[in-house]
């Protein structure tokens, strides 16, 4: 069923609420993460000190990171290059190509990788279609770029429906 593909395996308030030790215990060797409103606000060009620290903690735990973003090269490269993390831009999520490219680049399997993002219709759907463990985070900012605003309206409808059907068990955010 299509809506089942929209249900994340986990739902957390932010990347900082993801238990890195638990990822290690679950044999996670890689993270595919969205950029805008997952790591930082969609209009923030560079990482915050807190995000830099989170990425360092992943690195210290032996977990690789690749940013997979639907944004263009200049936005994604400006964020990722100073951090020395891999990235794939113009990803066309939720299609499979960028997710599969990321696991190939990191030389890991889908079972060893989690997908983290703030959107059901791009990050969660894309990850779930391929069998990744998916983690939905609350968007960092309450504002979005033009195209994301449409997705957010559709997400609200899907979340309300899934809650009514008992498909999700978390408390919906505003």
For residue range 38-65, list pLDDT tens digits in order: 999 988 999 999 999 999 999 999 999 9
In a domain, 14, yes or no: yes
Separation of alpha carbons 152 and 148, rounded Å: 6
- Cβ distance 158 to 6 under 8 Å? yes
pLDDT at 94 over 50: yes
- CATH code, domain carrying 122: 3.40.50.1000
Helix (H, G, I), strand (E, B) or coil at 121: helix
The percent of residues in the chain predicted with pLDDT above 70, rounded, is 86
How confident is the model over 119-128, as pLDDT tens digits? 898 999 999 9
pLDDT at 169 over 70: no
In a domain, 53, yes or no: yes
Nearest alpha-carbon partner for 54 in 18, 99, 8 = 18
In a domain, 172, yes or no: no
Structural domains counted in the chain = 1
In a domain, 34, yes or no: yes
Separation of alpha carbons 50 and 84, rounded Å: 16
Residue 138's domain spans which residues?
A: 3-164
- Segment 86-98 shows an average pLDDT of 97
Separation of alpha carbons 90 and 6, rounded Å: 21
pLDDT at 173 over 60: no
pTM of the shown model: 0.87
């Amino acid at each position: 069923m299509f809506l089942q593909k929209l249900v994340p395996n986990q739902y957390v308030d932010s990347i900082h609420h993801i238990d890195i030790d638990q990822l290690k215990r679950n044999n996670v060797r890689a993270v595919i993460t969205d950029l805008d409103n997952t790591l930082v606000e969609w209009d923030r060009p560079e990482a915050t000190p807190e995000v830099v620290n989170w990425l360092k903690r992943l690195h210290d735990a032996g977990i690789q990171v690749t940013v997979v973003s639907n944004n263009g090269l200049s936005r994604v490269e400006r964020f990722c290059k100073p951090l020395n993390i891999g990235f794939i831009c113009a990803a066309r999520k939720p299609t499979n190509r960028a997710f599969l490219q990321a696991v190939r680049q990191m030389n890991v399997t889908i079972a060893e990788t989690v997908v983290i993002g703030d959107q059901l219709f791009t990050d969660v759907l894309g990850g779930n279609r391929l069998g990744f463990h998916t983690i939905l985070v609350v968007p960092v900012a309450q504002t979005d770029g033009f195209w994301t605003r449409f997705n957010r309206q559709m997400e609200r409808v899907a979340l309300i429906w899934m809650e009514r059907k008992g498909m999700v068990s978390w408390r919906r955010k505003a």
